[in-house]
């Protein structure tokens, strides 16, 4: 049975004290309101990982990074390795977020290397895929997502793939105030599950968690999560607001 997950991506926000305060209040909330089979992941900037990992002690809540290097170690100034992330107590890492693909020109080959390196260091991968607006408008969105998954994720053997979560990001709906309709979200999630089935079989496809990541908020979360192939969300701006984020989790 696949996991229901809400992952908060703090992006480049919050200083140390602000991050500790947010993580503390979220942890306290789920101490008094148990998750009951759901899972929450706080994906913080690198500087927060150690402190937040020490704070989060609630069952079902874990910590993740937003990126990692594709290299094990070496002269790569400014980079953070998967082993460094793991040493902080973090258990997850986002790979291939659209902002990394667009702003830092991360390609499928590099993302495949990052995924493999993360798995070697016992990190669960949240692998992002999704199309930009011109690709959606030209009806290329299915081809784009298929290519991203085949080149960046489906090279894994089944045992490793089972350690991954997929996050679908309609890039045109991130930070724009637009949201894919529930029908659009379900259509793509169903398509992705079909790709997984083609590569790994029916059982693996049924067990694969696929998150929606595109301007999900408390007001539309329940409608999105009601879709049979939408297993939760990768939440951006709303994850910085404790009440909003916890209400999204409640909607799952």
Active site members: 97, 169
Q: Look up residue 246 and give its two tokens.
A: 């916890």
């Amino acid at each position: 049975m696949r996991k229901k997950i809400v992952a908060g991506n703090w992006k480049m926000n919050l200083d140390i004290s602000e991050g500790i305060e947010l993580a503390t209040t979220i942890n306290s909330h789920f101490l008094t309101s148990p998750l009951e089979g759901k899972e929450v992941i706080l994906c913080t900037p690198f500087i927060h990982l150690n402190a937040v990992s020490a704070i989060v002690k609630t069952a079902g809540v874990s910590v993740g990074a937003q990126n990692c290097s594709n290299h094990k170690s070496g002269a790569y100034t400014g980079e953070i390795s998967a082993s460094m992330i793991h040493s902080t107590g973090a258990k997850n890492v986002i790979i291939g977020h659209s902002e990394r693909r667009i702003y830092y020109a991360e390609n499928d080959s590099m993302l495949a290397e990052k995924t493999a390196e993360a798995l070697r260091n016992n990190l669960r991968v949240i692998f992002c895929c999704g199309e930009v607006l011109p690709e959606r408008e030209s009806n290329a969105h299915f081809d784009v997502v298929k290519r991203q998954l085949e080149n960046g994720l489906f090279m894994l053997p089944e045992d490793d793939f089972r350690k991954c979560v997929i996050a679908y990001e309609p890039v045109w709906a991130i930070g724009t105030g637009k949201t894919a309709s529930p029908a659009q979200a379900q259509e793509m999630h169903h398509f992705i599950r079909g790709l997984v089935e083609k590569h790994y079989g029916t059982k693996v496809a049924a067990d694969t968690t696929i998150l929606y990541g595109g301007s999900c908020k408390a007001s539309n979360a329940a409608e999105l999560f009601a879709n049979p192939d939408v297993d939760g969300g990768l939440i951006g701006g709303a994850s910085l607001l404790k009440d909003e984020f916890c209400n999204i989790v409640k909607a799952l």
